[in-house]
Structure 1
Amino acid sequence: MMATKTILFLLIPVLVRQASGNLNTYPAPHGIQASNKFQVYLSQGGNRKSSFTYITTSDQRAKEVSHAKGGRSVSWTSFSFSGGAVTAEIHTPHDFHSCIVRPQHYGYKCQRTGSKIAHVTVSSTSRMMSVEFDYDYGSSNADIKDKMLIFADPPESNVPNEHDSSVLFYKAGVHNLNGQMHLNNKIKTIYLAPGAWVEGGFLSTANHGVTLRGRGILSTRSYKWHDNRFSWGMLNFDKGNNHVVEGIVMVDPEQYFFRGLCDHNTTRNVKMIAPWTYNSDGVGMGHDALFEDTFIWANDDSFKVITNSYSDYITRTGVKTFNIVLYSQMVWERGMMRSGGCVHSDHRRLY
């Protein structure tokens, strides 16, 4: 009888944790400004936490090029959780009567719960959403001036060893690469930890695949539009095959977000935001690419389907399809897909 009571006693804390879940907010990088437009608090099972809310604006791009609109901003926050639903409490700069969560397919409701306060309950991970308020809804003729995005990640697993010589490991904090880093032959993994803000980009140089993953942020907002230190975009993974980009937020591209014109690349749970200038394409891709649970806000093509050796490929194989799978994508953009040939794609839940 005593053994049975002991087992029950040990099980109760486990069951309580499973019922309440596990909510993880990410650290704030020292030196990065918090949003002055929105603040977000998260609650799960009675546990309430502040979630650091980033902001970036269009003002610098508007000074560089005439086609960029000034006076725009996007605020965003990211977190991960398991178990029970998480309630996001959003504090706004102005009061409002109604609000909405997009994509509406999620079925999430935005509720006004007080002056300048909205609540949204998030029941699943891999959710990337825009919360929009009636004082700034935008229209077919006008954009939303101050955007608010919420990214709910699944919990991380298999964090790489920071002492592994094949790993570039960026801890929480601000890291300036002074341009686009050319990866040497040894590098196989780039990891951006939660709370890491990496200012710069990466270019692959080896024949093997590179995995870029984590919950950190890659930005080029401090670089000029079409900065000559970059080849095509923030990420240029044209060299090699079987590249993977997973989990990160990509902010304010100096040109493309991600160009990978080689084969068998995977993009999963990536968020691409703040494309204030033209020619801010989402992804340039080659053959047999997979896109899953990814948020793309582009200012040109979201997906550009082409290859480094397109003409040679047709000559050798006679094949004119690229076998692209798009699953559970969230797309904000003017045009969606441009192809250098015929596209054989599987569009599953593309919004």
Structure 2
Amino acid sequence: MMKFKHRISRSLFMLFCLLTNITITLSANDKVKKLVVYPAPLGALLNNDYTVSVRLLNNKKWQSVPTHLIKVDKLLEAKHTVENSSMAYFDFEGEVEVSVTFNKGVINQAKIRPLSYAIRSNMKGNTLIFRLDRPRNLSVEINGDIFHNLLLFANPIVKNIPNRNDPNVIFFDAGIHEIGKEGFRVPSNKTVYIDGGAILRGQIRIEDVENVRVIGRGMVEHTVKMGIHIAKAKNVYVEGIFTTQCATGGSDNVTIRNVKSVSYYGWGDGMNVFASNNVLFDGVFCRNSDDCTTVYATRKGFEGGSKNVRMENSTLWADVAHPIFIGIHGNAEKPDVIEDIFYKNIDILDHQETQLDYQGCLAINAGDNNLIRNIYFENIRVEDFRQGQLVNLRIFFNEKYCKAPGLGIENIVFKDLSYNGENSEISVIAGYNEERKIKNVVFKNLRINGKVITDDMPNKPKWYKTGDMARIFVGEHVEGVAFTP
């Protein structure tokens, strides 16, 4: 038998739900199930394209989930246009049913992505109902519309909410917080908690500090460019919140976990890394109007190389430019090294770039005398994108952004990389000259539309390069490219 952990009258319960976060806890067979929904504060920017509700499995009562207004970038013939989209979120433990009602017409077709999650839905009129048994960051797309879709962030339950009376805790309660143009500067040795019903209208600045935590389920509103800025900081942890951008520069030992970045304006990179070491991205979601995630060396006043950067269990969607981009920026006079970079268990939902110089879902472009080495991609699933290349590895001299070509790209591994689609243009692997080469690139279990591409694959003519079978151009000044099972 299941029952509320705390019994209150129905009228009091309904009033409580309107004023504060809604938390429902059920127990069945000694297994606790929990659901937390955050009502939107007065003055929040909302979008009524969708009506979203959620309930714990086997619980009859649905809880309403607010749908917040966000904005995304739509590129039409090199012209950027801003479209209104929707975002909703809740926390849960156990299993839930989600109801999404499309308020603008009939549902003829629906997708829930990433497709690798294989989430099935039941359609009743203009409503979809589906189950989740674990936290997921999702895109719900109706009738093929990817610009007026619903981003649904089903989060884990917040553990160990800090004590608001602790002098080392800064607490943002539910409500609108006008931070101002200067932003909120987080002091050293502080924990900032942003309640799931809190909306910050101003930047969070983690600059020249150490031992900082910014956690919670609230948001930096989409109206704020560069929502989170981490600069010359050490020992930083950011978890759970929504923002436009989250850049890290000149920093060491930074963890970004379950942060959602959605941008719509020019130069709207999602999660940049500049001249930083020991940076971890875990479970992040990026939909951006420029590169989703980058690793650069010297750039924007931050000096030096980058080492030990890792992204895992994440989802990337580039409305413009690259989902993953490494290497273009550095110090041409005092060369930098970018090394030991890892990407694992990543879903790439989209990539659109008409400029040939800036294509590539997985792009490593060495400029500014950078040496780039020891880059590892594993279990990367690429869905069909609108326009671009799967892979782009180049040593080049891009005079618009660089003062010199790169020095080299070495020791690159693509393991369990898959692409399913029809829109990929020809990928490129090309060095610069005999002194500036690409060396030792391994594709292990590369799958293109289900076909495994290997050096000894059946039906490959002996005079073909294996890259020809995957539509990968392997050009000059490249050595040691292998395709293995």
TM-score by length of 2: 0.58
- For the pair 1:35 / 2:35, whether they are aligned, the reply is no
Write the mapping of 1:248-267 to structure 2, written as runs, cut at 5 A.
248-250=241-243, 253=244, 256-267=245-256
Matching residue of 1:179:
181
Matching residue of 2:289:
299
Structure 1, unaligned runs of 5 or more: 1-12, 139-143, 226-232, 315-320
* CA separation of 1:149 and 1:201: change in aligned 2, threshold 3 A: same
Structure 2: how far apart are the matches of 1:241 and 1:172? 29
Deviation of 1:58 (Å): 6.0
Write the mapping of 1:154-233 to structure 2, written as runs, cut at 5 A.
154-181=156-183, 183=185, 185-186=187-188, 188-221=190-223, 233=226
Structure 2: how far apart are the matches of 1:15 and 1:89? 22
- For the pair 1:121 / 2:135, whether they are aligned, the reply is no
Structure 1: how far apart are the matches of 2:344 and 2:186? 36
Deviation of 1:161 (Å): 1.9
Which secondary structure does the structure 2 equivalent of 1:301 belong to?
Answer: coil
Deviation readout 1:145-194 (Å, 9 max, x if unpaired): 31201111111112122233332210000001012335264562211101
Deviation of 1:206 (Å): 3.6
* CA separation of 1:35 and 1:326: change in aligned 2, threshold 3 A: same
Matching residue of 1:130:
139
Which secondary structure does the structure 2 equivalent of 1:289 belong to?
Answer: strand
Structure 2, unaligned runs of 5 or more: 1-24, 330-336, 348-485
Structure 2: how far apart are the matches of 1:212 and 1:271? 14
**Pick from 93, 96, 101: which aligns with 1:86?**
96
Residue type of the alignment partner of 1:259: T
- For the pair 1:323 / 2:332, whether they are aligned, the reply is no
Structure 2: how far apart are the matches of 1:214 and 1:55? 20
- For the pair 1:101 / 2:91, whether they are aligned, the reply is no
Q: How many residues align?
A: 304
Conserved? CA contact 2:168–2:189, under 8 Å: yes
* CA separation of 1:215 and 1:235: change in aligned 2, threshold 3 A: same
Larger Rg: 2
**Pick from 280, 284, 308: which aligns with 2:268?**
280
| Higher relative contact order, structure no. (Cα contacts within 8 Å, ≥ 6 residues apart) | 1
Matching residue of 2:67:
53
Which secondary structure does the structure 2 equivalent of 1:210 belong to?
Answer: strand
Residue type of the alignment partner of 1:49: Q
Matching residue of 1:22:
34
* CA separation of 1:74 and 1:187: change in aligned 2, threshold 3 A: farther
Matching residue of 2:237:
244
Conserved? CA contact 2:248–2:272, under 8 Å: yes
* CA separation of 1:262 and 1:308: change in aligned 2, threshold 3 A: farther
Give the structure with the higher percent strand: 2
Conserved? CA contact 1:272–1:298, under 8 Å: yes
Which secondary structure does the structure 2 equivalent of 1:105 belong to?
Answer: helix
**Pick from 151, 158, 180: which aligns with 2:153?**
151
Conserved? CA contact 1:35–1:55, under 8 Å: yes
Deviation readout 1:2-46 (Å, 9 max, x if unpaired): xxxxxxxxxxx9852755721111121111143210010112222
Structure 2: how far apart are the matches of 1:162 and 1:90? 35
Conserved? CA contact 1:67–1:278, under 8 Å: no
Residue type of the alignment partner of 2:232: K
Which secondary structure does the structure 1 equivalent of 2:202 belong to?
Answer: strand
Conserved? CA contact 1:67–1:277, under 8 Å: no
* CA separation of 1:237 and 1:209: change in aligned 2, threshold 3 A: farther
